[in-house]
Structure 1
Amino acid sequence: MLLNGLASGCIYGLVALGFVLIYKATEMVNFAQGDLMMLGAFVAFTAIELLGYNYWVGFAVAILVMAAFGYLLDALILRQVIGQPQFAVVMLTIGLGFIFRAGASMTWGTETRAFETPFTGGVTRLGGLVIANVSLSIIAGTAILCAMLFAFFRYTRIGVAMQAASQNQLAAYYMGIPVKMIFSLIWAISAGVAAVAGLLLAPVALIDVTMGLLGLKAFAAAVLGGFGSIPGAVIGGLVIGVIEQFSGVYLEEGFKDVAAYIVILLVLFLRPQGLFGNIGRKRV
């Protein structure tokens, strides 16, 4: 149960990571993040099942296609609303989510899809435990991706530039950083991370146009971890996944579906900044 909860939490954490990356850089809340995950899963299905690519090639194709899609999404649409009220941005991203779901249903249909992975059907035995390889692949994939993102933001010039732009856009611009391009790259990374989440989730939950609604639970994970904290997003996802798994077994029927939202309400009451967030203060 714990491993299954951690596997679900890794998916929530990856989608929440996309929320946080975009918010830290642009102060936008992208409610279409879950739908980007759904599109990434469908792109992988197209590459692997319809075009016949090897799983790992299809994996890479889906990430690259979604990264390019995220870059163009910011450059052509979302950049136009920078400086507008948050309400306008929220409504735009919600509307984009509806458009993505409609486009997916017209392109791939409304039936459930699936594709084979190297981990499908396999199990690993540890003593008396029998663990599905799919769950282990989700946990391992999340750990590898988080390590790669940490190294990218810590040790590369572009990663450092992204951190600078997220902390002070004007100062970064005066230092010669192309802030608009950096923002588009952050959207590209966020869409690529969403695609990884979709690829890891697909063998477990299958692929359909409604799988992006999981983004609401990922939003709860981002709030729990602290909306500006990248490690907090992943840890928040793990906590939500474990709570959801255990509540589905030990509590009354129906609690599993609302566990994430009960947690987010408690966090907002007791610690609004989240587990790892900071309270921002301004002098007037």
Structure 2
Amino acid sequence: MNAFLTSLLNGLSLGAVHALVALGFVVIFKASGVLNFAHGSLLLLGGYLTAVWHAHLGFAGALAAAVLVTASVAGAVDRFLLQRGGAGSHAAPAQTIVTIGVDVLLLTDLSRRIGGDLLPLGDPWADSVTRIGPVTVADSRLAAIVVSCLVIGAVFAAFRYTAWGLSLRAAAEDAEAAALMGIRLSRVRTGAWCLAGALAATAAVFLAAFPAPGLERTTGQLALAAFPAAILGGLASPVGALAGSLLIGLTEAFAAGYQSELHVLGDGFGDVAPYAVMVVVLIVRPHGLFGRKGAVRV
């Protein structure tokens, strides 16, 4: 029972952090139709800035500055690189390829700066743990759940109650009609990229916090675990991103917690388990858990 509860709490915390990253994938796709392969390097950038600034600004100040800078970099990538190639669904495939180049450039520079070091982020939870009944859980895991819920709640409130959120939803439904109604599509999509960058920088803190040893140059690759979560839920569905993230987080945690019982599937099964779940779900529901089948009138 202890192993089950521990895996459950770990899965919920992993799912909460994956949700921050997956929501970034979804917001960008809804706004621009681009699948952002540079998301992992943006996450690494946010974590790196927090690590190098926390000694001077404190953890909260460094995180706030890192979120702002990462959001600005993400917005600049869209504004000055991607939108130069045009807008609309016809440009999205080429822009998706451009994000691969951006990822290579950012990842190369950040890897050179980090090297083989493990960078602490100065988070206030350190290696402290809390005992909940028979289960001992890291405070960073609990903080991940609380902070992710607050941030995701704020994002959904922005979708629902702000002019930008209304514009984003209108552009996602019919970009041409939204443009005719006076919505500035370029501003909407740049705002989406900025939001995704901010979410990635926030997620970096919890991916590098205890029990992880710290930020390393491979931390950005952890964002790839959120990719099947976004696909699972339906790439254009924010609610689906949350559901997919929880499913992937629980899958990872239980695969790791019961690795000895799953040894017949291989020692590294926990690493591929999220993708195995994605394949199984997509066989049953090709459009994802909350994806909608497109209708075309001929």
TM-score scaled by structure 1?
0.94
- Equivalenced residue count is 282
Q: Judge conservation of contact 2:44–2:217 (CA < 8 Å) in 1.
A: yes
Q: Which residue of 2 aligns with 1:54?
A: 58
RMSD (CA atoms): 1.6
Task: For residue 2 of structure 1, report the CA deviation from its aligned partner.
Answer: 0.8
Aligned to 1:214, which of 208, 213, 222?
Answer: 222
Secondary structure of the corresponding residue to residue 182 of structure 2? coil
Q: Judge conservation of contact 1:224–1:233 (CA < 8 Å) in 2.
A: yes
Q: Which residue of 2 aligns with 1:20?
A: 26
Task: For residue 85 of structure 1, report the CA deviation from its aligned partner.
Answer: 5.5
Q: 101-110 vs 241-250, which deviates more?
A: 101-110
**Is 1:145 equivalent to 2:159 in the alignment?**
no
Q: Judge conservation of contact 2:234–2:241 (CA < 8 Å) in 1.
A: yes
**Is 1:78 equivalent to 2:88 in the alignment?**
no
**Is 1:223 equivalent to 2:237 in the alignment?**
no
Change (3 A) 1:118 1:221: same
State how far apart, in whole Å, the 2-side matches of 1:91 and 1:268 are. Answer: 24
Q: 78-87 vs 113-122, which deviates more?
A: 78-87
**Is 1:269 equivalent to 2:283 in the alignment?**
yes
Unaligned runs of 5+ in 2: 1-6
Secondary structure of the corresponding residue to residue 137 of structure 2? strand
Q: Which residue of 2 aligns with 1:254?
A: 268
Within 5 Å, give how 1:102-251 maps onto structure 2. 102-204=108-210, 205=212, 206-250=214-258, 251=262
Structure 1 segments (4+ residues) deviating >4 Å: 83-87
% same residue: 38
Task: For residue 112 of structure 1, report the CA deviation from its aligned partner.
Answer: 2.1
TM-score scaled by structure 2?
0.90
Amino acid at match of 1:72: A
Q: 194-203 vs 82-91, which deviates more?
A: 82-91
State how far apart, in whole Å, the 2-side matches of 1:108 and 1:131 are. Answer: 29
Task: For residue 200 of structure 1, report the CA deviation from its aligned partner.
Answer: 2.1
Secondary structure of the corresponding residue to residue 54 of structure 1? helix
Task: For residue 146 of structure 1, report the CA deviation from its aligned partner.
Answer: 0.8
State how far apart, in whole Å, the 2-side matches of 1:232 and 1:75 are. Answer: 27
Q: Which residue of 2 aligns with 1:67?
A: 71
